Amino acid sequence: MLRAVILLRVLPLAALLAGSAARAQDLSPISGKVVDGKGVPIPGATVRLFAGETGPPIELLTEIDGSFTFANLPAASYRLVVEMTGFQAATVEGVN
């Protein structure tokens, strides 16, 4: 089941975030790919996932192909922030 498809272009950084999930016991992944304005993958970008206003984020780095996956997440509305040196940060609200 497709959870979310979001295209965010923040020049010069473009973040393509596609959430997909097979709902299993109300836990599912949020995954996507971070690319630049030309569609080239951005490896090593920091991706932070926030649930609510308090508490620390879940954080990971994108793979060599720009992909990332946050596994086994409870159903909720998340805020996703992507940062990479030399690029403008990108934020997506309401990822679920």
Give the pLDDT confidence of 69-84 residue by residue, as tens digits.
Answer: 999 999 889 999 999 9
- Distances in Å between the Cα of 32 and the Cα atoms of 15, 40, 54, 74, 93 are 8, 14, 24, 17, 15
Which are the contacts of 93, defined by CB distance < 8 A and separation ≥ 6?
79
Q: Does domain 2-95 have CATH number 3.30.110?
A: no
Give the pLDDT confidence of 8-24 residue by residue, as tens digits.
Answer: 333 334 444 434 444 44
Share of the chain above pLDDT 90, in %: 60
User: How far is Cα 66 from Cα 48, in angstroms, rounded to an integer?
Assistant: 14
Tokens at 21, concatenated: 């999930």
User: 3-state class of 45 per DSSP?
Assistant: coil
Q: In the chain, what are the domain boundaries?
A: 2-95
